[in-house]
Structure 1
Amino acid sequence: MNNILCLSVFLALVYARGLTWDFSSEVLVILIVCIVMGVFGSLRTTFPLWTSFIAFALYQFSLVLVYVLDYAFGWS
């Protein structure tokens, strides 16, 4: 939730100042990770150990996805 709030404040500043936005792939990856972890967080009250492995896997997934979006698809 902190990531979403900070990104929205940053986007508002970029929009208000008329700056260029070159972070679309990074923001998309952050939104995907926040949604996935938010679904896990909303479905359980206690978290077993295996949920930490999902978080670690999402970190690796986010690195690969940013690389693929930036260099394979040329999306910035």
Structure 2
Amino acid sequence: MNNVLCLSVFLALVYVRGLTWNFSSEVLVIFLVCVIMGALGSFRTTFPLWTCFVAFLLYPLSLVLVYVLDYVFGWS
């Protein structure tokens, strides 16, 4: 939730000041990771061990996804 709040404040500052934005792929990946972990966290009151493996695997997956979006699809 902290990531979403900070990202929202940052995006609002960029919009209000009219700054150039070149980080669409990174923001999309952050948003996807927050949604996946938020969905796992909102449906459970206790967390089994397998949820930590999902969280750990999201990091290399996010790096690969940013690489693919930047260099394969040409997003900036």
Which TM-score band (shorter chain)? over 0.9
Structure 1: give runs of 5+ residues left out of the alignment.
none
Q: Percent identity?
A: 79
* TM, length-normalised to structure 2: 0.95
RMSD of aligned Cα (Å): 0.7
Q: Secondary structure at the match of 1:48?
A: coil
Count of aligned residue pairs for this structure pair: 76
Structure 2: give runs of 5+ residues left out of the alignment.
none
Q: Secondary structure at the match of 2:22?
A: coil
Q: Secondary structure at the match of 2:36?
A: helix
Corresponding residue for residue 20 of structure 1: 20
Structure 1 stretches of 4+ with a deviation exceeding 3 A read: none
Mapped to 1, the partners of 2:17 and 2:30 lie a distance apart of 23
Mapped to 2, the partners of 1:22 and 1:2 lie a distance apart of 22
Q: For 1:9-68, what per-residue CA distance to the aligned partner results, in whole angstroms no more than 9, with x for missing partners? A: 111111111111111101100111111111110111111111000001111110000000
- The one-letter code matched in structure 2 to 1:53 is F
